[in-house]
Structure 1
């Protein structure tokens, strides 16, 4: 690390600021400040709608890192609860589902609202941020509203984490101080990076035997791909005894918690006091401050100016100046600076300072980038839409009317501008929960305007309107009714019948149920749902229970779109598919115990796929039957061929005049051509225009495209040889209105049926080239050094997998998590980390590794079939200490011998 003093002196010296040095702890921990936040004031809180003093944050981490335990302490210290809940006792606020309390894990993301610091009174607004800045005080000196989401850590519930991350403004990543950076931590960290969410790290469980803060800090650099800015260091009794507190490198203070207390009383010691009572710890705290200022100087010129103003004294730089520098670096993700804090939530140590830094460092909704949206075929930001810029782009990319319609006095642009001005609110439904008492709860994040009670909400995904009879502010399983949910806030709508996870809801005034074009096509960023790899049959106990079962499954799918329900055409069985064994077990518990469905679930099976290696001819099929007593007639032509997703590039796809759709879904590519229906536009614009006058009055281009698409998907759901869903298939459909359209006899159902028949017939032609595919999993196994040999041998010999890498958690020299070729790699040797009590130091205070207790990570690719029930076997190999996570890498074609063995097993022969 280049020292600040050695940098060039071209930076001008500025006048010293009058802002005084603050003590972030001394402002906080007063007994009178801790009083219960009254839920009765929920409506007045909404009326304030002060976004600058609002934080929408999430808790993300590997399973069993202490997310729920930390959340419980936050609620206790903020005054929301009067007692601290315990995960082992099943008494936590956020884990309120019976299955969560029974298993001791988080299954469903829980949203909860509280204030930090607690408000002295409900009508007390407190100082503004401008007033705090003028006094030289941090943001944490004023009460903020925190909307917190506690997310699951188990790999089976990755989708639950994804749908929560997309609506957050910041996140706290919790690490287990004993296990360090684990596999699932890397995964959720990468997911948060895709949404560019600023994150701070809290190293938890430092009270446990084997905890190594220094080693964990190193892993933040080596495995998460960032520069750890150590803001706090652990304080051990006599240097190696009980974990008793933390040293704050920002304020140069020691924070001491008494053993066995509830954590409310914090003893604050200045650096001068520490030098008298614990000289070694004081020395390390000064090293941490020097390292922190030096790190920030590499990325922020302002902190260099502050350093020079203070006579090049690292300890004299004011805490407010360091906080602002940290904030600037955190918001600029190219700097890759990661603030790191320390504590032990179970022992009630370090949670209040963590809450302070959530307010000081993480952004408010006003400070986040413009949310990404799509409107028609145009993508951009929400604010660009509200200003009218996106409408101009949309008009340039697609003409909304024919020459006859252009004679109207009001232009489509004017209508769109008027519609935007009337827009009252835009929200994203990021989660749907079926509550036994309240019914269906739809969790929403409001991005602009507000959602008011009894407002009419237009669902742009489903194309229908619903009314919002009740609005709630959630406190986990408890709720307070409110009149409106303003922009930047998270709330719940009760009583919506159709809204699903990922739907965009618009609040639009007037009696007109549908907003004008193109506002009715507005979509906030959708979620990509990973393909399910496990399935099990669901059977009702009697025929009379069948309808109730299907209604219950529909509720379950609204809750969790990563579940899939299909019907086997041969056996008539209802099949439920999910992301893992635990995922399906939880779904069964929800069906049977929570929804009281009288049904049984069969044995969990693996979802195989089929592929083809040959190309069919163009097969034309005509559908000519009565559908529900109405004449239906339509034709379609299909051609199927193999598809390689790795070689596909959507941007380089050839375009043609008659192209209606070209989309990749679930590993298959679907291309739809419509000759005579799509024609070139005249003039400067290169894109296509629709000729709606060529179609009968009851059809339009969108309906034709959707019907063809759905018919093709139905055919791909069942392979020609073994009836498994098809994978890596390219289907080209052709619908020519001259030969395939028959006036009023051609309905959407007939078009869909014709597309399905044509695709099935084309697949039948290449049935002989069909082969079975199985899911190949990315598996990350964490074991100690002693057990590594046995685990590697078991994976490579007994389970048919191959080892990708063997990583020593403490010795990686470059980032393995987010390697960006445009950015230099993280040099672990330059990372400051305090020495661990039981580990030798390896230069510059970086913690060294231990011997056989050293954690190692094995990365392998293994067929899913071999990983069913693997956890019990792994625990027997590692003495109960091994853990693993896995995710789908791809579907891989089986060899003929393995295919015969699998089919023999499936058929019970």
Structure 2
């Protein structure tokens, strides 16, 4: 989880200790191992998530991972798949698709900046996925670091009770950051200045009383506070405390670790273990990795993966164990010889099931597909059925990734993350399965051929830019490169303007499109130019049209084509029951009605020719309607929230072999286009603009100027100020944390910070306040520079798409 920069160093510290790499690199110099794309190194930010596989504790020579039995899990080596994610708001989708496949997360916080707005957004998403989390307050070696204030902010901003497991240890109370006090083990850990982090001096509480009595007393307070907050959530520990005569110092460290694990394993975020350190100086990294082993769950302890297969819904283990009732298809595709009568468990024939959560084009190895295996074992050379694209591909090579380095392996077991090399079709979000006796062309029997793990939702793009190849001969190469970029990043979209033939690339933000341009031109060496970045408006119908019938009778792609179709358009009404059978495309809904009976003679029924099955006919009509909705009649922007209702009457619209998919798509396109033109002539097409959910962080003294600027100059609506958070962000079930009851050690440097905020007892905790508002995207272009001028360079903001909203008359003239 963000913040990304600290997580990069955090990821690299253990692999440096393990000898996987000889350098740790520097984020600001762009030299970290996990930032291996040229654009990442040039800008000093993370753009793509990177996987790092390591064993912690390190496996000693001649030993195995499970060679010893120990109550403390960190005494036994575990395989950890660590994923470094971006911190910039434009790449939130990269973080969300990584969250989808995690078993646990480390929330890395900046000890100077505290809890930032982007952290809150990702934290809310982690709550939705119920991911167990621990927090690591980093950069405590820097000027202005305030561990106590950050702990308070965890309670007020993230709405969870901080369980302080470590407190920072400054030399002489106000000197350099030298180590941490462990409230679980009741000891202090001291690191050598300038060392590699491997040498740690451990001081017991008794010896600490002699050398640093004040810190020893604070450590005892931390232990008491930790036990008290745990007892509020865990009755087992409360019983143990009573058995120890209410002496928190007498409770065994393992009992506290077990309690912490029980409290966080449900992923609710109600209690948050907090650790301290400075990862760039290798301080606190090893205890944090021990906490990953001790507190975070292994794959078997996570809730079962949810699946859908046609109308079937349930969990993957229930499907594999035959607990789900599967209605097998009677089509010729069903291999009857594989199954006995009635209740045979066809789900039990699934050998492995995996989710492709990331696709990368590596210049040396080709296309790399990152997968998380949810069941079985994915073996090398196994045939993988893609349930989204309905194609079979072979897993020729399997890799275990160490950022940009890799090790070839023979299999990927359940719960692990690995890489498949050379798949030609798999995209981000596709489900891949291997099935016993599967036909390579038709795949597993229905409905397992449509088995999907919960898909990753892709937010709509709000910026776009035109791409111009330098020559006609370069056009095909540019299209192929764009197809690769889209496989890597589904939040990018490519469309072609019908009139100009221009390719348009759409994305989530200005930086997002700039990075895509850099990769297109610099990484892939495409000979093309990207135009200026513009805002992606939409159009929407406000009233229903009449039904229009179109008949196509012309040559299409060198082949005679003749087909008909009737259509009308209407605004989307989510309460309309007809939308249940509709197909959703880019925010619009398309319903196809195929009438086999002649309306004038109800006793006469028609059938479709063998070469035009019903599924192919429906797909062709939907594609035609979707193409028509891609360009509105008012300003040529795509339509949104529009319902296109198509009717294909076999007796009227079918003309034998001349009615092929291309002719059907043309007929549907023309019918929908005519219906849209009617609504435009009736002045029933509105222009819609993207409205963003914006969270601005600033000093309290600047709040008035910013609120006035948002409300008056930019046409926005302020939703909340300060610590008031909407329930949609945190969930109705969560209660606000009483910050005055949170334990936090005193910050020795708090009085010398530029904010001078020593008040850690109330709601005004932290150096910054948050303003939440809904603002038109047009007004947010270039806003960061303006915000910094208002706040003396200290203000920041994040924003995410919320909805499309109708543009008023005066604002439309500015478009």
Question: Taking structure 1 as the reference length, what is the TM-score of the superposition?
Answer: 0.83
Moved more, 735-744 or 158-167: 735-744
Deviation at residue 228 of structure 1 after TM alignment: 1.4
Deviation at residue 637 of structure 1 after TM alignment: 2.3
Q: Does 1:831 align with 2:754?
A: no
CA change 1:695–1:318 in 2 (3 A) is farther
1:86–1:92 Cα contact (<8 Å) kept: yes
Alignment of 1:621-700 (within 5 A): 621-643=550-572, 648=574, 654=577, 661-676=581-596, 694-700=607-613
- Which residue matches 1:239? 173
Give 3-state SS (helix, strand or coil) of 1:424's partner. Answer: strand
2 CA distance for matches of 1:693 and 1:467?
Answer: 42
Q: Does 1:353 align with 2:280?
A: no
- Which residue matches 1:321? 255
CA change 1:837–1:702 in 2 (3 A) is farther
Match of 2:367 among 440, 451, 471: 440
2 CA distance for matches of 1:166 and 1:852?
Answer: 32
2 CA distance for matches of 1:300 and 1:851?
Answer: 30
- Which residue matches 2:157? 223
2 CA distance for matches of 1:386 and 1:693?
Answer: 42
- Which residue matches 1:78? 18
1 CA distance for matches of 2:606 and 2:323?
Answer: 30
Deviations 1:785-813 (A, max 9, x none): 344344333333333323222215xxx6x
- Which residue matches 1:55? none
Deviations 1:78-118 (A, max 9, x none): 33222322112322110011111111100011011111111
Deviation at residue 435 of structure 1 after TM alignment: 0.8
2 CA distance for matches of 1:511 and 1:864?
Answer: 49
1:198–1:331 Cα contact (<8 Å) kept: yes
Q: Give ranges in structure 1 of 5+ residues lacking alignment.
A: 1-59, 678-691, 903-909
Alignment of 1:361-760 (within 5 A): 361-390=295-324, 392=325, 394-395=326-327, 400-401=329-330, 414=341, 417=344, 419-510=346-437, 512-513=439-440, 514-643=443-572, 648=574, 654=577, 661-676=581-596, 694-760=607-673
2 CA distance for matches of 1:866 and 1:478?
Answer: 43
1 CA distance for matches of 2:794 and 2:204?
Answer: 41
2 CA distance for matches of 1:302 and 1:851?
Answer: 35
1:836–1:847 Cα contact (<8 Å) kept: no
Deviations 1:229-267 (A, max 9, x none): 111111222333322211111111111123322222211
Give 3-state SS (helix, strand or coil) of 2:577's partner. Answer: coil
CA change 1:849–1:708 in 2 (3 A) is same
- Which residue matches 2:600? none
Deviation at residue 836 of structure 1 after TM alignment: 2.0
CA change 1:318–1:853 in 2 (3 A) is closer
2:127–2:268 Cα contact (<8 Å) kept: no
- Which residue matches 2:807? 894
Deviation at residue 77 of structure 1 after TM alignment: 2.5
- Which residue matches 1:336? 270
- The 4+ residue runs of structure 1 with deviation greater than 6 A are 408-413, 814-817, 849-853
The count of residues paired between Structure 1 and Structure 2 equals 799
- Which residue matches 2:63? 124
1:95–1:106 Cα contact (<8 Å) kept: yes
1:61–1:173 Cα contact (<8 Å) kept: yes
2 CA distance for matches of 1:743 and 1:827?
Answer: 73
Q: Give ranges in structure 2 of 5+ residues lacking alignment.
A: 598-604, 752-757
Q: Does 1:807 align with 2:722?
A: yes
Alignment of 1:102-121 (within 5 A): 102-121=42-61
1 CA distance for matches of 2:466 and 2:342?
Answer: 51
Question: Taking structure 2 as the reference length, what is the TM-score of the superposition?
Answer: 0.93
Moved more, 449-458 or 823-832: 823-832
Deviations 1:469-496 (A, max 9, x none): 1111111111111111121111111111
Deviation at residue 512 of structure 1 after TM alignment: 2.1
- Which residue matches 1:287? 221
2:30–2:45 Cα contact (<8 Å) kept: no
1:784–1:853 Cα contact (<8 Å) kept: no
Q: Does 1:96 align with 2:36?
A: yes
Give 3-state SS (helix, strand or coil) of 1:829's partner. Answer: helix
Deviation at residue 208 of structure 1 after TM alignment: 2.1
Moved more, 597-606 or 826-835: 826-835
Q: Does 1:781 align with 2:696?
A: yes
CA change 1:93–1:498 in 2 (3 A) is same
2 CA distance for matches of 1:823 and 1:464?
Answer: 44
Deviation at residue 818 of structure 1 after TM alignment: 4.7
Moved more, 855-864 or 561-570: 855-864
- Which residue matches 1:41? none
1:874–1:882 Cα contact (<8 Å) kept: yes
Deviation at residue 409 of structure 1 after TM alignment: 7.8
Deviation at residue 759 of structure 1 after TM alignment: 1.3
CA change 1:450–1:743 in 2 (3 A) is farther
Deviations 1:731-780 (A, max 9, x none): 22233434334444433333332222221111111002212111111111
Give 3-state SS (helix, strand or coil) of 1:562's partner. Answer: coil
Deviation at residue 152 of structure 1 after TM alignment: 0.6
- Which residue matches 1:43? none
1:835–1:847 Cα contact (<8 Å) kept: no
2:55–2:79 Cα contact (<8 Å) kept: yes
Give 3-state SS (helix, strand or coil) of 2:261's partner. Answer: helix
1:215–1:849 Cα contact (<8 Å) kept: no
2 CA distance for matches of 1:663 and 1:516?
Answer: 24
Deviations 1:435-475 (A, max 9, x none): 11111111111111122222111111111111121111111
Deviation at residue 851 of structure 1 after TM alignment: 10
CA change 1:335–1:468 in 2 (3 A) is closer
Moved more, 500-509 or 693-702: 693-702
Deviations 1:565-599 (A, max 9, x none): 11112222111111001000100111111101011
2:699–2:768 Cα contact (<8 Å) kept: yes
Give 3-state SS (helix, strand or coil) of 2:137's partner. Answer: strand
1 CA distance for matches of 2:379 and 2:765?
Answer: 60
Deviation at residue 417 of structure 1 after TM alignment: 4.2
CA change 1:298–1:673 in 2 (3 A) is farther
2:431–2:453 Cα contact (<8 Å) kept: yes
Moved more, 775-784 or 236-245: 236-245
1:661–1:705 Cα contact (<8 Å) kept: no
Give 3-state SS (helix, strand or coil) of 1:901's partner. Answer: coil
2:596–2:606 Cα contact (<8 Å) kept: no
CA change 1:540–1:382 in 2 (3 A) is same
Give 3-state SS (helix, strand or coil) of 1:523's partner. Answer: strand
Deviations 1:45-102 (A, max 9, x none): xxxxxxxxxxxxxxx11454x1212112122223322232211232211001111111
